[in-house]
Amino acid sequence: MKIYRVGGAVRDKLLNYPSQENDWVVVGATPEKMTQLGYLPVGSDFPVFIHASTGEEYALARTERKSGHGYQGFVFHTNTDVTLEQDLVRRDLTINAMAEDHDGSIIDPYGGQRDLGLKLLRHVSDAFIEDPLRVLRIARFAARYHHLGFTIAPETMALMTSLSASGELNYLVAERVWKETERALAEPSPDVYIEILRECGALKVIFPEVDCLFGVPQRADYHPEIDTGIHTLMALQQAARLSQDPKIRFAVLVHDLGKGITPDHILPSHAGHEARGIPLVNDVCDRLKVPNDFRQLALATTEFHLQSHKALHLRAETVVELLKGVGGFKSQQRFDEFILCCEADARGRTGFEESDYPSAAFLRRALESVSETSVADLVEAGLDGAEIGRQLTLRRISRVAELKHLFTTE
C-alpha cells in the first residue's frame, strides 16, 4: 500500500501558487483495509475515504469506463492491481496528472512539468472527451492562471469544441455547472472563463442569455466599445478589480441580459432593457439553481443600475425609491455590493476604466442621511398607522433633496 499526494496540490506547489487543495491517492489497498486503518468511507460511486484527523480525501486508485451521458456516466474499477499511472491517465490535464510520494519526489508520467514550463493547459489523453464537465473545468483553470500567461493547447481546445457540439453538455447536472461557474467567478480573471466557453461553443449551451449579447450594438456615445458582449467582459474585469466576491461578479455578468432581446428596430438604443432583463436573470438562476443571495443582488443590479448611474440627476423621490429597491434600508452590505456592481458597469467601457464614479459617494451619503430618520422618532411625535409611513417617506425625500443640492453646488 502506497499513498501519494496528487493533482492540484502538486501542480500549485511546483508553480509556487497558493492552494487549498490536498488530495490523496492510495495504491494497493482495498476498502476493507482502509476501514481497518481508521479511514471513514464516503460516497457510493467509488471508494473515497476521509482521514479521521485531517478531514482530507483519500481515494483508491481507479480506472473508469464511459457508460452513459454527462458527468456521472462512468463505471469505475478499483483493485489492488490498479497502478498510479493508470489512475493519473484518467485525469483532465497533464499539469493535474502528477503525484508526489512521501519523500517529495514527483511522479510525472504524462509531461505535466513540461507543460507547466510551457504554460500550457493540455489534456492527458483522448479520454478527455468522455467527460463534458471538463469543458468548464479547463475554462476555469484558464481563468485562474491567465495572469501567469497560461493558454489552452490548440488540440485541447479542439476537443472542447467537439464536446460542446456533441450535445453532452446538455446532460450536465445544474449543481455541477453552477459549482464550476461560482469557482470560476472567484478566480483572478473571471472574464476569461466566459471567453473560453464562448470560443469553444459552450457558452451558447450553458449561458445562452450571455452568449447572445455578443454582436449586439450599443450607442457609441455611451459605449465606445459598442458590442454588448465586449462590454460585459470589460465590466466583469472591473468587478474583479473591485472585489473578490463572486456574488458581485455574477451580478455584473448578468446585469445587461435584457439587451440581448432588444427589438431590432430600436437598436442601438436599449430603452427598457432593465425590465426585459429581470425574467432572464430569473431564468438563469432557476436553471442553474443559483443561491438566493446571488439572485437577489443580480436582480437589484439588473433593475436599478441605470438609475444608479444617473443618481445625481434623479428626483429626490426616485433616489429614495432606489435606496429602498436595492435593499439599502434593510442591509448595508447589500447596498455596498450593489454600488460595487454599478461602479464595475460604469468602468467597463472603453476609455472609462480609470474613471471616478461620483454616484457612489452621493448614494452612500444619501443612505446615511435618510437612515437618521427613524420610525421611533415619528411614534414619539404622536404619529401612528399609515401616517408614520407617509411622514417617514416625506422626511427621507426632504433629506435627499437637501443633500442633492449640496452635491450639485459644491
Q: Which amino acid, one-letter code, is at 276?
A: R
| Secondary structure letter of residue 76 according to DSSP | E
Enumerate the domain spans of the chain: 1-117
DSSP per residue, 70-110: STT-EEEEE-TT--HHHHHHTSSBGGGS-EE-TTSPEE-TT
Contact (Cβ atoms closer than 8 angstroms) between residue 173 and residue 68: no
Beta strands 23-27; 40-42: pairing state:
unpaired
Angle in degrees, CA 61, 160, 207, rounded to 5: 110
What is the distance between the alpha carbons of residues 302 and 383, in angstroms, rounded to a whole number? 36
What is the distance between the alpha carbons of residues 311 and 304, in angstroms, rounded to a whole number? 10
Phi and psi angles of residue 81, each rounded to the nearest 5 degrees, phi first: -95, 0
Sign of CA dihedral 51, 54, 56, 58: negative
Question: Is 3.30.460.10 the CATH number for 1-117?
Answer: yes
**Quick one: pLDDT at residue 66?**
52
Omega before 132 within 30 of 0, i.e. cis: no
Query: Three-state SS for 49?
Result: strand
**Quick one: pLDDT at residue 55?**
83
323 grid coordinates: 435606496
What is the distance between the alpha carbons of residues 222 and 381, in angstroms, rounded to a whole number? 48
What is the distance between the alpha carbons of residues 106 and 286, in angstroms, rounded to a whole number? 44
- State if pTM tops 0.85: yes
* Average pLDDT per consecutive 10 residues, the chain (410 residues; last block may be shorter): 91 90 87 86 77 86 61 61 89 95 94 97 92 96 97 98 95 95 98 98 98 97 96 98 98 98 96 97 98 98 98 95 95 97 98 96 94 68 70 87 79
**Quick one: pLDDT at residue 65?**
60
Residue holding cell 485531517?
54
Q: Which amino acid, one-letter code, is at 124?
A: V
